[in-house]
Structure 1
């Protein structure tokens, strides 16, 4: 059994804790999450935690066939992520006073049980208010520790006068009423500040300049059933909650959506407010199916940029899961990197010279460069970002993006700078500056991760990627980068599902990530599958595109194709054969993978020097 070593927890207490969780609002309407949690807890209590594997869960709980392949299908990992988030929310709200806490640590599915030293009785009534959920930025929600400190903070404040005003001798009631009045006043001021900050404060204006602003209008109930109005409101909040996970766009909170209802009302209430995009939707119930229609409009001229229709079977057991699934689908399509808004913004500044671009537009250009890396665009983007951090030194994403660009001076040898002999070290400094500016943003952590990777510190790199994933588990760039890191170190079981999930979540994911799936198939002797993936890489200016193709053609004996790819390698990197071992090792590629890659390259006709030969040539 997995639990705290200091204290034994009885099975009876754990069963009670389980019942509390699965009876909560977060779990009551999701049969899948309930079955998942019950299975792993009961198996652990029965001493069978060794059975708690992705395959067993998929087959026994989710009804998948015995041919289920956990490396190809991320179902269990996705469901585990949802369950973890629901558990975290439960213990901040309904379960704040529970004595036993159930968690499922990342990296596996075996639950952990711990005794909570103090009931957080003050947290539950505050956090239970649904207005504190998806519509607010996570940073403004007090943690339990803040509430725990409240009594001490009050005790240290200025005392009341020795002879306070008495009303009927009921001083405790008066004090209580004064305290409530003060709390309501502070909360009201805080809400007003949060609501108006994006438009009326200097910080808000800076945020607006760094990226577009989007408002989600309340989803309409087109079903004719008044009871569905609550579900429509919940869908609106779920969509907002999914959108705010992505930091490349500023999303107005749920309070703004429900208070102002339309873009015009918002502008009338707060003159000068900036809204770039409007998302609206409707729900309709048809027998056992629910239809949710969503559209994205450009606020300036109300031009439709995208619309989608989601049709799903609907029942009380899946209604919450369905809401969350659709919300994440909408968020991925609309706001994730390379999504609808990114493309619209790129079109609007197409053809403008780099020195005329804003800081945010430089970030957009950087994302476009990542899709199809080439030396010319690398140089342009680097100049743009260097100007951006001079003009806007507090813009964390610009520092992070520049860190990425510096790493490409060594990673793919684009435009090396003699004044920067250690690009990876310089990139790490930039990335750390970005983290200091925005510790809750995933992009700076990704920049830290790639810098550590190129400094040959793979486990520090993976740790940074994992931290970024906790901030936004749905960002396809994070999933793909983390999958690349795991794969090259030989951990295929973790790496390949992440890359595949990235492409499932974002079909516009940069195609060069497919080279790692190609290597995966190659190392398992599946050369036709490897070739199919390699042909989709589509980045002819990257030497590794041709390295992957050459080693596959070498293994299958396609001499003409192998010869062509070898010539392309030497065109892009004339002494690659001499430095191949060094290049592979500095990318933290596992030794067994290096052996397999070198074997294929030699069969393709590339003269790859061994360590000893390379050392002799250097001497």
Structure 2
């Protein structure tokens, strides 16, 4: 029998578009995924957990012990395939025997020499995964001591906690085997007096390039607070959205290859590229990639989260690129949260969407949910502090940001925006200027912060120079009347900045 991949794909498309399957979204995703994995040689690795999380959009903490979804859908799929082939001729039959989730390809009752008509569908174009995927990460923990010590117990506890922590991050995929990973996080532990010393190495699997290394210590009998603090620091340096070295390196690596970026990667790749090079051009590229992805896969929850985030940046940076900003932002945020309720980032961006629309109570509630869902994500913690500040709890907000920034990890310079606003609003202009000097790569914010700080410190000439640079960035910044993409100065926290800018502007008019 001819098992050429194109014949199998053609048969899959025929099934997915047949009357029995056409309206069954879950069954179609199930079948597409198991065919894809079987063709890739991973049929023996299919199980309820990876089908639920990779194909059916369930959260990483999905438990087949308590939720029989996959078993039920597998039974339905087998019956539907049997009914399909009872009334349809085919050169190849796709079946899923009982006792396995891998599919088999059997000879059908139509001559093989008949060339199939391959009609790509929005569900299964080239068997592209229906959800945007990030890099694969493998975790290895080992003890260097020659004989069993307390380090052995710490190693087991730490590995378990790290796996649970990493599973909360949707932009990476955990894999068990290093040879199937894009990156490997190695932790070597050894006894060091009354402590346990950890040697941490993060490497790119394909090139063996060292991405990050660090040495940390834990007490020989660490409590849960000790382990949580360690997990937080590791996450901030490896997988967190704003600072994770895995994500940044992966995005750069994907762009460096002499090949098109895979369709299930490009939305995330270009979004990460924008976060590390915040410019109008990189924003447009990220937005276009995300919108194109959602045209083909409108329920790609990761792409929806990215689109919602980009809507937020469109407002904060006043790019005015997203059409019908309020509607687009709300739809993307709501849908992403509905598709993946366990996604902390979806709750976080929905919270800021609610703030944008004036619903401060729901904003605060969603911020808390996001934080509880993933307390190890420094990106979410930053937005949590910012949200508290903007909704009126200024001291709690600035405290959250200051606590976060005390952690050792590579912080984007725009993390200084909220501390600047707080210092300026409290009339601590010298401190405000020092913070403003650190904001160098966040649209007009650096120029604006320095402009008002210099003015309040009596340095009018330098203030006017910054104002000129500010107007070169966006000449209409102070008089935007677009009700759908509201002026950034509609926020209470920026009222004092706005009034100061208007004072400075009067000097030019005079």
TM-score (norm. length: structure 2): 0.68
- Partner residue, 2:82: none
Distance in 1 of aligned mates of 2:418 and 2:188: 40
- Kindly report which structure 2 residues correspond to 1:336-485, keeping only aligned pairs within 5 A, or say none: 336-337=240-241, 338-350=243-255, 356-416=261-321, 420=323, 422-485=324-387
Distance in 1 of aligned mates of 2:475 and 2:259: 31
Shift of 1:506: 6.5
- Partner residue, 1:596: 496
- Partner residue, 2:44: none
- Partner residue, 1:245: 168
Shift of 1:448: 1.9
Change (3 A) 1:311 1:554: same
- Partner residue, 2:236: 332
Shift of 1:556: 0.6
- Aligned to 1:219, the other structure's residue is in SS state strand
- Partner residue, 1:229: 152
- Kindly report which structure 2 residues correspond to 1:22-421, keeping only aligned pairs within 5 A, or say none: 137-140=60-63, 206=129, 210-222=133-145, 224-226=147-149, 228-252=151-175, 256=176, 263=178, 274-312=180-218, 314-316=219-221, 318-337=222-241, 338-350=243-255, 356-416=261-321, 420=323
- Aligned to 1:440, the other structure's residue is in SS state coil
How many residue pairs end up in the alignment?
398
Shift of 1:567: 1.5
- Aligned to 1:295, the other structure's residue is in SS state strand
Shift of 1:396: 0.7
Change (3 A) 1:567 1:305: closer
The question of whether the paired residues in 1 share the 8 Å contact of 2:150 and 2:191 is answered with no
- Partner residue, 2:416: 514
The question of whether the paired residues in 2 share the 8 Å contact of 1:488 and 1:588 is answered with no
The question of whether the paired residues in 2 share the 8 Å contact of 1:137 and 1:244 is answered with yes
Distance in 2 of aligned mates of 1:604 and 1:208: 49
Give the one of 434, 449, 455 matched to 1:548: 449
- Aligned to 2:138, the other structure's residue is in SS state strand
Let me know the Cα RMSD of the aligned residues.
Answer: 3.7
Shift of 1:392: 3.5
Shift of 1:242: 2.0
Distance in 2 of aligned mates of 1:354 and 1:574: 39
Higher relative contact order (CA 8 A, sep 6+): 2
The question of whether the paired residues in 2 share the 8 Å contact of 1:578 and 1:608 is answered with no
Distance in 2 of aligned mates of 1:453 and 1:323: 34
Distance in 1 of aligned mates of 2:195 and 2:367: 39
- Aligned to 1:456, the other structure's residue is in SS state coil
Change (3 A) 1:504 1:608: farther
Change (3 A) 1:554 1:576: same
Shift of 1:227: 5.0
The question of whether the paired residues in 1 share the 8 Å contact of 2:284 and 2:321 is answered with no
Distance in 1 of aligned mates of 2:505 and 2:140: 61
- Partner residue, 1:570: 471
Q: Deviations over 1:102-151 (max 9, x none)?
A: xxxxxxxxxxxxxxxxxxxxxxxxxxxxxxxxxx94332878xx9xxxxx
- Aligned to 2:358, the other structure's residue is in SS state coil
- Partner residue, 1:80: none
Distance in 2 of aligned mates of 1:596 and 1:575: 18
Shift of 1:538: 0.9
The runs of 5 or more residues in structure 1 that have no matched partner are 1-135, 147-188, 197-201, 257-261, 265-273, 610-619
- Partner residue, 2:93: none
- Partner residue, 1:561: 462
Distance in 2 of aligned mates of 1:594 and 1:303: 44
The question of whether the paired residues in 1 share the 8 Å contact of 2:239 and 2:247 is answered with yes
- 1:532 equivalent to 2:434? Answer yes
Change (3 A) 1:240 1:557: same
Distance in 2 of aligned mates of 1:140 and 1:490: 39
The runs of 5 or more residues in structure 2 that have no matched partner are 1-58, 68-97, 103-123
The question of whether the paired residues in 1 share the 8 Å contact of 2:149 and 2:191 is answered with no
TM-score (norm. length: structure 1): 0.57
Shift of 1:440: 0.9
Distance in 1 of aligned mates of 2:160 and 2:346: 27
Distance in 2 of aligned mates of 1:494 and 1:608: 38
Distance in 2 of aligned mates of 1:446 and 1:371: 20
- Structure label with greater radius of gyration: 1
Change (3 A) 1:219 1:137: farther
The question of whether the paired residues in 2 share the 8 Å contact of 1:554 and 1:602 is answered with no
Give the one of 383, 389, 398 matched to 1:487: 389
Shift of 1:534: 0.7
The question of whether the paired residues in 2 share the 8 Å contact of 1:454 and 1:587 is answered with no
Shift of 1:277: 2.1
The question of whether the paired residues in 2 share the 8 Å contact of 1:537 and 1:545 is answered with yes
Q: Deviations over 1:513-545 (max 9, x none)?
A: 3121111111222111111111111136x2333
